[in-house]
Amino acid sequence: MCLKSKSKDLYFAAIESLVNASDNFGPALNKHLPILLPLVAKRQDLANDERIHRLKDILCFNGGDEAEQMLQRFPLK
């Protein structure tokens, strides 16, 4: 629900939570990316490019090739 919020602060907290979840759970998070990435993409105009780029890097690093494939299917800026 936080990723659907129009509040910048709440959206930023949700992005940070995704980063933490990726750090903690690694590739186990990959199965949830088809649900999460469209939500991130829909509101990515609220975040600066640096925050979204950091999320993409962390997801790719922790999730491996599967996460990279998901990010290609659901592109972020």
Write the CA distances from 10 to 23, 49, 62, 70, integer angstroms. Answer: 20, 17, 24, 24
- Tokens 């975040």: give the residue: 47
pLDDT the model gives residue 59: 96
Q: How far apart are the first and last CA of the chain?
A: 21
pLDDT the model gives residue 17: 96
Contacts of 39 (CB under 8 A, 6+ apart): 3, 4
Q: Is the pTM of this model over 0.85?
A: yes
Q: What is the pLDDT along the chain (77 residues), one digit of tens a residue?
A: 888 888 888 989 999 999 999 999 999 999 999 999 999 988 888 877 788 899 999 999 999 999 999 999 988 87
Assess contact for 10 and 2: CB atoms under 8 A.
yes
pLDDT the model gives residue 45: 81
